[in-house]
Chain A
């Protein structure tokens, strides 16, 4: 059975090197700050062997946007959830792209940009994925009116 790590357990893993980056820990997730997130992900991938990025997704929390990363370790058979809050408010949300860490995020991040309008910095090919180029708005936002 894949062990889904609790928030406190994730905190234990990260506490040694990335104590400052932990913003909050929930029941089964940890929210980290956006800057230097790549270092943290590299640490998780290489040192802690969370090598499979199961999914990247985003949630419109009305007050802000957040990006959710589901990581899985094939060796340890554990999975954990990392969240990043994309700044305060709804204007111009931005996160660092993890494509340099996991290739698997490439299409998923483009999809999030397309549908949720979160900009991923340093993404190699940041353009719309599902909708056409001149589409206005980002449909998965709660304030989107068709």
Chain B
């Protein structure tokens, strides 16, 4: 039977493109023949803006890149600045930012899973259950730094302010409750035959392809590669912490979902260990000035952000502002294989696959 190909522009305004993302997709009936991602609708020129701001002011820009994971963005940037200017952070500050980063990972993965299931067509129910948990994390962030999304909590050398007294009981309460909530989510989703049927063996990504395409983060681990920078390149104090790294066996959408879900559990354990190890002290060394002026040089410190390897490549010319600030954005690079992954599958799989990659348009376009 001869058929006519249909080319459709999906996005930039579409319910499940997670922001302003556009795909030019060619269908043969329901089957995808070609898909081309078109991005740039949220481009704000963060890298250029960073060249005109002092090192501390750039922290506020990093909040707005991956806006579901501001704390880890802060962390990646601050680590790079510290390496560049040779600042030794104070101990409590590092523990605090590790706690913040792991909480942020839970929040970001909650959003990722929630919207993935939403793309599968569940009428917002799992999403709202997960957002309910994320809300508690955001409240914890509000206690720590007064903001929920755009935190700007970290400073070169640590964090700007110790967490308040009421933070710790709330955090403990959250850590107690969260595993039960996760069990709920697993009951609702993990064994659900519809979800299994929709996600298993769809958009399978092989190990070698994933590495070759610089895919990182949960997506790489779902393909079975044991590469977690917290384990292989322990920045901050991750070497004092023991945690397991969930890996997928097949590398399809279901594995990407499972890996994220289990990483939430591991993050909870990491936060608990941090709580055991944190000790009173200054959160920021006194000698670090408000206006950091690193020597000439360059630095790149990759960290394990919720979306993948996130690193800030900073070049300094000795001034108060970075000479060049490049963001290695995991969302953008993970998108490379979108076309290869979806070809041959159905329309509905396109959105599920896109959701399982877990991109954040703020970070893709910067």
Residues of A within 8 A of B (CB): 1-2, 27, 51-55, 57-60, 68, 70, 72, 74, 77, 81, 102-108, 111, 115, 128-132, 139-140, 144
Name the residue of chain A whose CB is nearest to the CB of B335: A107
- Asked whether, in the complex, the Cβ of A102 is within 8 Å of the Cβ of B233, the reply is no
- Asked whether, in the complex, the Cβ of B365 is within 8 Å of the Cβ of A130, the reply is yes
- Asked whether, in the complex, the Cβ of A57 is within 8 Å of the Cβ of B326, the reply is yes
Q: Name the segment of B43-51, B131-139, B279-287 touching the other chain.
A: B43-51
- Asked whether, in the complex, the Cβ of B40 is within 8 Å of the Cβ of A68, the reply is no
Instruction: Tell me whether A74 and B313 are in contact in the complex, defined as CB-CB below 8 angstroms, given that A2-B233, A54-B328 are known contacts.
Output: no
Closest chain-B Cβ to A64's Cβ sits at a distance in Å of: 14
- Asked whether, in the complex, the Cβ of B47 is within 8 Å of the Cβ of A74, the reply is no
- Chain B residues, CB < 8 A from A70: 300, 302, 311, 313, 328
- Asked whether, in the complex, the Cβ of A108 is within 8 Å of the Cβ of B227, the reply is no
Say yes or no: is B212 at the interface (Cβ < 8 Å to chain A): yes
Say yes or no: is B108 at the interface (Cβ < 8 Å to chain A): no
Name the residue of chain B whose CB is nearest to the CB of A106: B336
CA distance A6 to B339 in the complex (A): 37
Which of A51, A52, A115 is B47 in contact with, Cβ under 8 Å?
A: A115
CA distance A131 to B48 in the complex (A): 14
Name the residue of chain A whose CB is nearest to the CB of B42: A130
The A/B interface has a contact count, at CB < 8 Å, of: 92
- Asked whether, in the complex, the Cβ of A108 is within 8 Å of the Cβ of B211, the reply is no
CA distance A68 to B153 in the complex (A): 30
Say yes or no: is B215 at the interface (Cβ < 8 Å to chain A): yes
**What band does the interface of chain B fall in when counting residues whose beta carbon is under 8 Å from A?**
35 or more
List 28 A–B pairs whose Cβ atoms lie within 8 Å, in order of A's numbering: A51-B211, A51-B212, A54-B214, A55-B214, A55-B300, A55-B311, A55-B313, A55-B333, A57-B328, A58-B326, A68-B313, A70-B300, A103-B209, A103-B214, A103-B337, A104-B212, A104-B213, A104-B215, A104-B333, A105-B214, A108-B333, A128-B40, A129-B40, A130-B40, A130-B366, A139-B48, A140-B324, A144-B48
Q: Told that A74-B225, A74-B227, A130-B40 touch, could you supply 19 new A-B pairs with CB distance under 8 A?
A: A1-B233, A1-B234, A27-B297, A52-B214, A54-B302, A55-B328, A55-B333, A57-B313, A68-B313, A70-B328, A77-B233, A102-B213, A104-B333, A104-B336, A115-B48, A128-B40, A129-B40, A131-B40, A140-B47
CA distance A77 to B212 in the complex (A): 16
Closest chain-B Cβ to A18's Cβ sits at a distance in Å of: 22
Name the residue of chain B whose CB is nearest to the CB of A53: B214
CA distance A47 to B48 in the complex (A): 37
- Chain B residues, CB < 8 A from A58: 326
Residues of B within 8 A of A (CB): 39-40, 43, 45, 47-48, 209, 211-216, 225, 227, 229, 232-234, 239, 297, 300, 302, 309, 311, 313, 315, 323-324, 326, 328, 332-333, 335-337, 365-366
- Chain A residues, CB < 8 A from B313: 55, 57, 68, 70
- Asked whether, in the complex, the Cβ of A55 is within 8 Å of the Cβ of B233, the reply is no
- Chain B residues, CB < 8 A from A27: 297
- Asked whether, in the complex, the Cβ of A130 is within 8 Å of the Cβ of B315, the reply is no
Closest chain-B Cβ to A81's Cβ sits at a distance in Å of: 8
CA distance A74 to B207 in the complex (A): 12
- Asked whether, in the complex, the Cβ of A59 is within 8 Å of the Cβ of B315, the reply is yes
- Chain B residues, CB < 8 A from A1: 233-234, 239
